[in-house]
Amino acid sequence: MRGKLLLLILFCFIANLSYAQNRTVSGQVTDANTKSPIAGVSIKVSQSNNITQTDALGRFTTEIGNQSKTLSFSYIGYNTQIVNITNSDSYQVAMNPSADNIEEVVVVGYGTQTKKSVTGSTTTVKMNDLEDAPLPTIESALQGRATGVFVNSSSGKLGQALQIRVRGISSITAGNQPLFVIDGVPIITRDMGTYDEPDNPLAAINPDDIESLDVLKDAAAAAIYGARGSNGVVLITTKKGKAGRTNIDLSYYGGSSTPTKKGNFLNATQYKELLTTSVTNAGYIGSDPDDQYPTMADFWADWTGGDDWDQNNNSNWVDAGLKKGNMQQIALTLNGGNDKTRFIASGAHNDNKGIIIGNRFVRTSGRLGIDHNVASWLDFGGNINLNKIDNYRVSSDNAFSNPLQLNALPPIHAIRNEDGELNKNTVYYNNLIDLENGSNLSNTYRTFSNVYATAKITPYLTFRSEYGLDFINLEEELFLGSRTQDGGDSGGYGFSYMAKSINYNTNNTLTYQNTFNEVHKFGALAGMSYQDGQFRYTQAEGKNFPSDSFRKIASAAVKSDASSYEDQFSFLSYFARVNYSYSDRYLFEASIRTDGSSRFGSDRQYGTFPAASLGWIVSEENFFGDSPTWNYFKLRASYGLTGNAEIGNYGWRTLYSGVNYAGTPGTKPNQLGDKDLTWENTAGANFGVDLGFFNDRLSTTIDLYHKKTTDLLLDVPIVSTSGFTTILQNYGSLQNKGIEFSFNSRNLVGEFRWSTSFNIAFNQNKILTLVDGQPIYSGGRYLGRIEEGKPFGYFYGKAYAGVDPDNGDALYFIDDSKTTTTNDYSEAADQEIGNPNPKFYGGFGNKFKYKNFDLDIQTQFVYGNDIYNAAGAFQASNGDYFDNQIVTQMNYWKKPGDITDIPQPRFDEANGIRPSSRYIQDGSYFRVKNLIFGYNILNEWLSKYKVQKARLFISASNLLTLTKYEGYDPEINTTFAGSYQLGTDFYTPPQAKTITFGINVGF
């Protein structure tokens, strides 16, 4: 009997196979509201391996077998729809746009969760919103879009690192950049070059390869990255292959860029008037042959060595240092596969000739990603990513060779001599010579590769192992010929630098996920990770070349310098996380991580970082009812510890380095170490509310947080009579507290669609304790100060009190009561004169869609921060020296009784030009960050030629900037001056305003 039954089953099976006759069905998918077709919808046939996609007109055809019961339609931004298969061969499907996706999957540390079940604070930026924007680098996508993430581009130089601060600044000496993780692998973001302004290793990433950025902000979300999480974590997820037809996506854009703003400097007539007044007031013109000159032309000739006082030149040096930039990118992406194997392959070439003369950034990138199901229980996959960057860099803001320093050159100097050669006889270096008589190129080669395997040990238990390699090679080659300032005095100068960063990482996790009695959802994760990073470089320097045609050090008669370097670090970590939810209503999560780092001494290597969080979805409660207006209400609370170890690799040791005294080798102590050095700790609490109204047409999130960092890794200033000036110790504390608010609304959902997003973050930073209350302050040209009870890097110095109407003297307030003034700078007391930290910042975006047209306007704002123009002493100095001045200086004090802010010009007497609040201004700004206007061409004709999608677009960046700041651009922060000089402008180049046109075709 048994045998018969078996036979029967077998028979049925075979029969089934033979009768599983396939038929072909077809149909069209449209948007339920706009009635327009949707391209690219995935259609999965149940009980089969068939996956297909709709074409440009929303049409599809697929084969179905007899046993197939349903068709499942899914597409990003729409509710997945399941349609029962009937006898009909034709299916018209209208998909509904999904509400704010509380079921949407968000990436968290070592896994994913639905947005609904997340109890920590995270923010997500989907890159498909930015596909057509010419992003210079991936992390700039966060600006204005990620709530609570402050992004400052620092400078308009291409290839330079951005400053990213998640919920404020949480360390004084250690790093403040968030941890960047690509597909689970922490990557290197440290700058590798020799410039005193950091290069940006993240710029190697092609933004088109990225699917999303998820920022983990609070301790609960970041604690699974424990020791590395106190500055927040940015999880970068790359695009993955999708099963179905092979899609070929080809895009191109090209356009041009101009500076957002230019400085307004004196013309030749104004310059001569001001300088003549200044020199005359200082008594240089007269009849005393020892100390005076008969005319300005004589004075000019003697002091500057130039005979061009009366030559009637009128040069615009501002325009000489800037140019119209242009950029283009071509990119190709292929993706496809079947239910067993999926792949994605992409390549892109981006060429950006910047707005600063000599500045250019070229990125060529390629990537291959594969995911494969080996068996029902085993998945395997990986990514290979290769990038090359050619970056023609601009020198440090502080260097005479920075093209923005051309601003300082008098307009009465010719830019070029009559013979066409660049004018060498200038008061300051005519650094255009560097471009004609030199070369400066940085090449970066970077590869990120990772492989993973996931094994389902039981239906509930999964083991995942990941291994990632991040390899960066940087080559800098600089040549300065015999006409240049820095190469001229040595017969030509060549510099070559080769640096390597080798970073590998492995993560191994076990994940358990199960639901008991349908209401108890339980998840657990345990794992370990190990990271090892090495950095090495070799450099050589040569001088005295046979001629400027020889540019390799091989030809240099003097090999003046050579050096090599190596350092290394490692992190070893163990972590665990549990989460539990009851009835999808009460949520609980706890995590713990122990991290060991080679950066600390043997006894103090390990730190432990626990976190816990709770969530309550109130709207799931019966008492909440089914209100059509208020449909979602969730409360979240979290508390946890995170750490920071972003310091040099051997900070705890007392070290001697080798030195050279004219050929005799020696050693010198180069750092005093503290054996007790260990992790910096941040304790963070977060309280959040998520609300949804009108079926989630309107949703909002509010987060309140408090972060306190203790045991700061601090370069503690010590008495220099000890022979050392600082020692790295765990000392002091600071806090950040704030509120974040984000709001999303789908205002119109019909044929004309309009949605709005808005986010704003208020952060208050305060230094709580420092060693014995001692402030950290360098003074000099810079005003940033670290002091107990004050915000990080607030401006401290003399308070400018304007000009004495009687004699034109610059005045300063004697003390902070600001009642009495003095004309003696050194007599005025230093006091608080500004704050570079914004009171709030955020973004406001609107998206419109009508038929085939769409428009996306994203704006961004920063409010309440001050900017200190450290170059004010040169460019806004009432003609104190030869530097050209900004036009406001013409309003200088002329005669007794004049009421003005610009003191009497007195050559070389420093009347009012020393660092003071005179050079501090409001740096608030509002900016139209990105504007994208697109048109999707849909027609039969294209479809016939297998064109799935064709799109034309115009995209603009930094289209409009509103600010009261008088300098170039308010989004600046010169970096060479040190980490606690925030909001400081020093000939810092402006951002680019870019307009591009593009086309995107999919096959």
Give whichever of 655 and 960 is closer to another protein, judged by the CB atom: 655
Given the structure tokens 């492989």, which residue do they identify? 451
Q: Considering only 41-49, 592-600, 750-758, 854-862, which stretch makes contact with another protein by CB under 8 A?
A: 592-600
Q: What is d(CA 795, CA 799) in angstroms, rounded to the nearest whole number? A: 11
Selected binder of another protein within 216, 327, 873, 972 (CB under 8 A): 873
Pairing of strands 920-922, 866-869: antiparallel
Q: What is d(CA 720, CA 513) in angstroms, rounded to the nearest whole number? A: 58
Q: What is d(CA 106, CA 121) in angstroms, rounded to the nearest whole number? A: 11
CB neighbours of residue 603 within 10 Å: 9
Question: Interface with another protein includes 420 (CB under 8 A)?
Answer: no
Selected binder of another protein within 368, 469, 672, 768 (CB under 8 A): 672
Q: Which of residues 502-521 bind another protein (CB under 8 A)?
A: 506, 508
Q: What is d(CA 823, CA 801) in angstroms, rounded to the nearest whole number? A: 9
Question: Interface with another protein includes 655 (CB under 8 A)?
Answer: yes
Shortest CB 543 distance to another protein, Å:
8
Q: Which of residues 922-951 bind another protein (CB under 8 A)?
A: none
Shortest CB 686 distance to another protein, Å:
31
Question: Interface with another protein includes 485 (CB under 8 A)?
Answer: yes
Q: What is d(CA 964, CA 982) in angstroms, rounded to the nearest whole number? A: 18
**What are the strands, taking DSSP E only, across 260-306?**
none
Residues touching another protein, count (CB under 8 A):
102
Give whichever of 483 and 849 is closer to another protein, judged by the CB atom: 483
Question: Interface with another protein includes 376 (CB under 8 A)?
Answer: no
Selected binder of another protein within 78, 252, 303, 445 (CB under 8 A): 303
Q: Which of residues 461-480 bind another protein (CB under 8 A)?
A: 463, 465
Phi and psi torsions of 660, nearest 5°: -130, 120
Question: Interface with another protein includes 280 (CB under 8 A)?
Answer: no
Question: Interface with another protein includes 492 (CB under 8 A)?
Answer: yes
Q: Which of residues 773-792 bind another protein (CB under 8 A)?
A: 774-775, 777-781
Question: Interface with another protein includes 855 (CB under 8 A)?
Answer: no
What is the DSSP code (8-state) at residue 355?
A: S
Phi and psi torsions of 951, nearest 5°: -140, 135
Question: Interface with another protein includes 914 (CB under 8 A)?
Answer: yes
Give whichever of 708 and 781 is closer to another protein, judged by the CB atom: 781
Q: Which of residues 144-203 bind another protein (CB under 8 A)?
A: none
DSSP string of 436-448, one letter each residue: HSEEEEEEEEEEE
Shortest CB 489 distance to another protein, Å:
4
Selected binder of another protein within 558, 584, 818, 820 (CB under 8 A): 558
Question: Interface with another protein includes 560 (CB under 8 A)?
Answer: yes
Give whichever of 316 and 570 is closer to another protein, judged by the CB atom: 570
DSSP string of 28-70, one letter each residue: EEEETTT--B-SS-EEEETTS--EEE--TTSEEEEEE-TT--E
Asked whether the beta carbons of 507 and 521 are under 8 A apart, the reply is no
Residues sharing a CB contact under 8 Å with residue 27, sequence separation 6 or more, in sequence order: 59, 60, 90, 91, 92, 93
DSSP string of 393-409, one letter each residue: ----TTSTTSGGGGGGS
Selected binder of another protein within 241, 596, 843, 872 (CB under 8 A): 596
Q: Which of residues 423-442 bind another protein (CB under 8 A)?
A: 424, 428
Q: Considering only 97-105, 692-700, 844-852, 873-881, which stretch makes contact with another protein by CB under 8 A?
A: 873-881
Q: Which two tokens stand for residue 511?
A: 């994940």
| Residues paired with residue 570 on neighbouring β-strands, in sequence order | 532
Question: Interface with another protein includes 488 (CB under 8 A)?
Answer: yes
Question: Interface with another protein includes 605 (CB under 8 A)?
Answer: yes
Selected binder of another protein within 273, 351, 532, 922 (CB under 8 A): 532
Question: Interface with another protein includes 665 (CB under 8 A)?
Answer: yes
Give whichever of 21 and 720 is closer to another protein, judged by the CB atom: 720
CA angle 816, 820, 821 (to 5 degrees): 95
Order across the sheet with 81-84: list the strands: 51-53, 42-45, 70-74, 81-84
Residues sharing a CB contact under 8 Å with residue 4, sequence separation 6 or more, in sequence order: none
Question: Interface with another protein includes 551 (CB under 8 A)?
Answer: no
Q: What is d(CA 158, CA 560) in angstroms, rounded to the nearest whole number? A: 30
Shortest CB 990 distance to another protein, Å:
23
Give whichever of 312 and 563 is closer to another protein, judged by the CB atom: 563
Selected binder of another protein within 283, 286, 294, 666 (CB under 8 A): 666
Shortest CB 511 distance to another protein, Å:
12
Alpha helices by DSSP H, 404-525? 432-436, 485-488
Question: Interface with another protein includes 500 (CB under 8 A)?
Answer: no
Shortest CB 868 distance to another protein, Å:
15
Question: Interface with another protein includes 302 (CB under 8 A)?
Answer: yes
Shortest CB 298 distance to another protein, Å:
11
Give whichever of 348 and 645 is closer to another protein, judged by the CB atom: 645
Alpha helices by DSSP H, 97-196? none
Q: What is d(CA 929, CA 844) in angstroms, rounded to the nearest whole number? A: 10
Asked whether the beta carbons of 41 and 54 are under 8 A apart, the reply is yes
Shortest CB 521 distance to another protein, Å:
24
DSSP string of 541-606, one letter each residue: EEE--SSTT--SGGG-SEEEEEEEEEEEEEEEEEEEEEEEEETTTEEEEEEEEEEEETTS-GGG-E
What is the DSSP code (8-state) at residue 293?
A: B
Selected binder of another protein within 61, 654, 846, 900 (CB under 8 A): 654
Selected binder of another protein within 294, 305, 896, 978 (CB under 8 A): 305
Selected binder of another protein within 32, 748, 910, 999 (CB under 8 A): 910
Shortest CB 826 distance to another protein, Å:
5
Question: Interface with another protein includes 603 (CB under 8 A)?
Answer: no
Shortest CB 260 distance to another protein, Å:
28
Give whichever of 653 and 790 is closer to another protein, judged by the CB atom: 653
Shortest CB 991 distance to another protein, Å:
27
Cα torsion through 956, 957, 962, 967, rounded to 10? -130
Pairing of strands 149-152, 163-166: antiparallel
Shortest CB 300 distance to another protein, Å:
10
Q: Give SS3 for 958.
A: strand
Question: Interface with another protein includes 374 (CB under 8 A)?
Answer: no
Give whichever of 219 and 480 is closer to another protein, judged by the CB atom: 480
Question: Interface with another protein includes 565 (CB under 8 A)?
Answer: yes
Asked whether the beta carbons of 223 and 613 are under 8 A apart, the reply is no
Asked whether the beta carbons of 656 and 668 are under 8 A apart, the reply is yes
Q: Which of residues 682-741 bind another protein (CB under 8 A)?
A: 717-725, 727, 729
Shortest CB 720 distance to another protein, Å:
4
Q: What is d(CA 433, CA 426) in angstroms, rounded to the nearest whole number? A: 12
Q: Which of residues 308-337 bind another protein (CB under 8 A)?
A: none
- Identify the CA nearest to 684 among candidates 173, 232, 176: 232
Question: Interface with another protein includes 756 (CB under 8 A)?
Answer: no
Asked whether the beta carbons of 784 and 836 are under 8 A apart, the reply is yes
Selected binder of another protein within 297, 384, 829, 855 (CB under 8 A): 829
